[in-house]
Structure 1
Amino acid sequence: MPRSLHLNAFLMGVGHHEAAWRHPRTDPQRVSDVRHFVELARIAERGTLDSVFLADGLAVGPSVRHNIQAVFEPLTLLAALATATDHIGLIATVSTTYNEPFNVARKFASLDHLSGGRAGWNIVTSAQPREAWNFSLADHPAHADRYRRATEFVDVAIKLWDSWEDEALVLDTSTGVFADTDRVHEIAHTGETFAVRGPLNSPRPPQGRPLLVQAGSSADGITFAARYAEAVFTAQQTLADGQAFYARLKQATTAAGRDADLVKVLPGIAPVIGGTEAEARALADELEALIVPEHALAQLSAMTGVDLSGLPLDGPLPELPDVSAVQAHQSRYQLVVDLARREQLTLRQLIGRLGGGRGHRVVAGTPEQIADQIEVWFTEGAADGFNVMPPLLPSGLEAFVDHVVPLLRTRGLFRHEYTGRTLREHYGLPRPASRYAARELVTA
């Protein structure tokens, strides 16, 4: 079978550009209106996109004075979107650092049941120290410690989803038997961080377990993704960097004993679309002119872990610590440093480049030029699809669905209609069997 492109719509407020809320094509009041997100999900579904995705953080951002904040907790919002859509996948970001496996497994099982098998979990370890302060901690756990916790966390969640076998529900009204208790299992997990008896108080989800998504590209992140991830959201600025990451992740997945074709790599792309290239660049310039430097420097300071406030905007990025010393987003830190050094950007130029996608690649052009970029990365071994990040919402998503998607279909790269019901089917992934069912087969 030929490869099929995968497209995810990354929904963020009224647009991914940090100044989107100030642009006349958006209405910032809609950020707290569920009808806005219902509209976005329906636009994405009209374009037969695989899924929509919500990011999340567990603290107010570093510059709330100048930037719009996320209002809704992702799982709550996606439960609402599940009732307003029929096919689109629903991926929520949930941290393993500031949650417990039982609660997270139960919530995702609930979303999968409510949506008929469309749930996905973007697994993050959290990156900002200010998040720790909201959970009775004085310090943010170290990068490696967060990934150790995440590994055990996901192991426990998978055990819990498996704790009800598919045939556990009997529902025999004549005998009064609701469940076959031989097919409902205590997981009896005792590990370094967690002790969870189980079973989950929810039958096995329609997909067996939600689609597992990961969004880190550091060494620890790649090791984690190779073990668990079925889709990877990543950020690279150049085709060569994209190809290198793609090859590295696929090789790590194979080394971990998994089929590398079953892990989909989706770099972020922020498409600024115009009827002509000049129109697209004009829109990009309009957005960049609305950036508040104070806010942008606060964002960059949080990303690098170095206070950049007060530095001259027309000077260079100062010398920064080696990435090994960074306890936040190591891969994004390295990307930003490499971008600034490679193109010899001033701070003003750097914050302008980051304003549209926070390190993800911003492409301004016509629908044909956007489609060309997507096709090149897809066919040249840098991506299995893309995490689409429109600078303005809903207009940017509408432009992508109405003008770029048809080109991708004409080129034979993307579906014309949904052929499956679940998110796993959209991504061409199998439904995993319960580990307990597999044990029965071995002992039978």
Structure 2
Amino acid sequence: MSRLITAIEIDGAGGDPGAWRGPEVDPGAILTGELALRAVQRAEAAGIDIATFAGTLEAPADAAGRVGVQLDALGLAARIAPATERIGLLPTITVTHTEPFHVQASVATLDYVSAGRGGWIADVSTSAEAAAVIGRRDPAPAADLWREARYVVDVSRRLWDSWDDDAIIRDAPTGRFVDRDRLHYVNFTSPTFSIKGPSIVPRPPQGHPVTAVRVSAPDALQAAADAELVILPETTDLAERVAALRTTDGATTPRVLVSVAISFEQAGAAEQLAGSITDWQAAGVDGVHLRPASLEVDVPIIADELIPLLKARKVVGEARAGTLRNRLGLSRPVGRYAAGSGR
């Protein structure tokens, strides 16, 4: 069997809303990003492939026992990028109320800051709270928003291609820094937006940063056809859902990860989880997306116990070097507008 992809979720102090209250947690480190950075560095040292970053447009609920603020996922990933070397970084970006042109430019910039380890999880929002935060449009049905999200993914890739790889000249003696013939208009129109282009950011190191979709609702399933990485919830019919993704009309061949919330409060929990991950691999998944209840408590156990167990079972191996696309076994796309691309 092939080596499984491993990913870990960064969400405040952890997936448990009360994780910040643990005696091992410095609450101030949540807001400075230090707690997240420490968790990602531990994960990277253990050989984990990807860190994902939870994010929403809505402010967290103002309730007793909960942290009432959340750092921006993209900003946090950019903060962590220069302090890491190998792990992929995928912030969640809600495309419903944000401008597609600026979304793609931000993801491209993350790819530069991380030296080719960037990507994003495209998400939508149907809530009135998110609409009120931005104030640009009213809430809409999820099916409409996921349809729009597919257009955002499409135009993002076109804008990443709007600069040829050799568009930058930097010829100081002649004063020519960009070859204008190697920049391209995308002239993209969807039912809800239009973009002329080109991008304001040169073509990213990976060509296309990795695009992921979290299939947490049926309406997101069609958008998964456009993703290179698909995150599925743990379900009893996992094998059937993976098979359905593999046969979706028009789909590429996405890497499918099963997402699971974890807490190592009980003895033997790491061994039990290793067994479950082995079963998921047999069900056809390409990897596992771990959502620790507490970053300070659970991530060290993931790094020191779970990953060694998976290596001993030959479920995971040594990570590939290079860009995130290389690490996931994905080729670097040829720019669609470049001469001789045939696209």
* Structure-to-structure mapping, 1:288-437, within 5 angstroms: 365-381=268-284, 383-416=285-318, 418-437=319-338
Structure 2 unaligned spans of 5+:
none
Alpha-carbon distance, 1:18 to partner: 2.5
* Structure-to-structure mapping, 1:143-154, within 5 angstroms: 143-154=142-153
Structure 1, residues 269-296: CA drift from partner, whole Å, max 9, x if none? 223225xxxx34xxxxxxxxxxxxxxxx
Equivalent pair of 1:164/1:199 in contact (CA under 8 Å): yes
Q: Residue type of the partner of 2:67? A: I
Alpha-carbon distance, 1:27 to partner: 3.5
**RMSD after superposition:** 1.9
Structure 2 residue aligned with 1:362: none
Structure 1 residue aligned with 2:46: 47
Equivalent pair of 2:20/2:27 in contact (CA under 8 Å): yes
Structure 2 residue aligned with 1:271: 262
- Summarize the Cα distance change of 1:257–1:404 in structure 2 as closer, same or farther, 3 Å threshold: closer
Structure whose CA Rg is larger: 1
SS of the residue corresponding to residue 28 of structure 2 reads helix
> How many angstroms apart in 1 are the aligned matches of 2:170 and 2:41?
35
Q: Residue type of the partner of 1:106? A: A
- Summarize the Cα distance change of 1:216–1:63 in structure 2 as closer, same or farther, 3 Å threshold: farther
* Structure-to-structure mapping, 1:86-235, within 5 angstroms: 86-136=85-135, 139-226=138-225, 228-235=226-233
Q: Residue type of the partner of 1:242? A: L
Equivalent pair of 1:78/1:90 in contact (CA under 8 Å): yes
Q: Residue type of the partner of 1:420? A: A
Query: Within the alignment, does 1:250 sit opposite 2:271 as a pair?
Result: no
SS of the residue corresponding to residue 340 of structure 2 reads helix
Structure 2 residue aligned with 1:440: 340
Structure 2 residue aligned with 1:12: 11
Q: Residue type of the partner of 2:99? A: E
Structure 1, residues 141-198: CA drift from partner, whole Å, max 9, x if none? 1112212221222222111111001121222234332122221101122332112111
> How many angstroms apart in 2 are the aligned matches of 1:56 and 1:157?
19
> How many angstroms apart in 1 are the aligned matches of 2:107 and 2:342?
29
- Summarize the Cα distance change of 1:389–1:175 in structure 2 as closer, same or farther, 3 Å threshold: same
> How many angstroms apart in 1 are the aligned matches of 2:156 and 2:342?
23
Alpha-carbon distance, 1:138 to partner: 7.5
Q: Residue type of the partner of 1:415? A: G
Equivalent pair of 2:61/2:68 in contact (CA under 8 Å): no
> How many angstroms apart in 2 are the aligned matches of 1:133 and 1:175?
50
Alpha-carbon distance, 1:70 to partner: 4.4
Q: Residue type of the partner of 2:250? A: A
> How many angstroms apart in 2 are the aligned matches of 1:68 and 1:426?
34
Equivalent pair of 1:185/1:199 in contact (CA under 8 Å): yes
Q: Residue type of the partner of 1:27? A: D
> How many angstroms apart in 2 are the aligned matches of 1:186 and 1:373?
48
Structure 1, residues 72-114: CA drift from partner, whole Å, max 9, x if none? 1111111110111111111111111010111111111111111
Q: Residue type of the partner of 1:93? A: T
**How many residues matched?**
343
Structure 1, residues 392-431: CA drift from partner, whole Å, max 9, x if none? 1222011011001011112222123x32221111211111
Q: Residue type of the partner of 1:256? A: G
> How many angstroms apart in 2 are the aligned matches of 1:185 and 1:138?
30
Structure 1, residues 40-72: CA drift from partner, whole Å, max 9, x if none? 111011111111111111112345333224431
Structure 1 residue runs of 4 or more that deviate by more than 6 Å after TM superposition: none
SS of the residue corresponding to residue 8 of structure 1 reads strand
Q: Residue type of the partner of 1:231? A: L
Structure 2 residue aligned with 1:333: none
Structure 1 residue aligned with 2:71: 72
> How many angstroms apart in 2 are the aligned matches of 1:421 and 1:70?
34
- Summarize the Cα distance change of 1:257–1:82 in structure 2 as closer, same or farther, 3 Å threshold: closer
> How many angstroms apart in 1 are the aligned matches of 2:62 and 2:234?
25
> How many angstroms apart in 2 are the aligned matches of 1:369 and 1:398?
17
SS of the residue corresponding to residue 36 of structure 1 reads helix
> How many angstroms apart in 2 are the aligned matches of 1:205 and 1:213?
17
Structure 1, residues 352-402: CA drift from partner, whole Å, max 9, x if none? xxxxxxxxxxxxx43222111111111232x21111111112220110110
TM-score by length of 2: 0.94
> How many angstroms apart in 2 are the aligned matches of 1:29 and 1:385?
33
Q: Residue type of the partner of 2:84? A: T
> How many angstroms apart in 1 are the aligned matches of 2:139 and 2:64?
24
Structure 2 residue aligned with 1:32: 31
Q: Residue type of the partner of 2:279? A: V
Equivalent pair of 1:100/1:153 in contact (CA under 8 Å): no
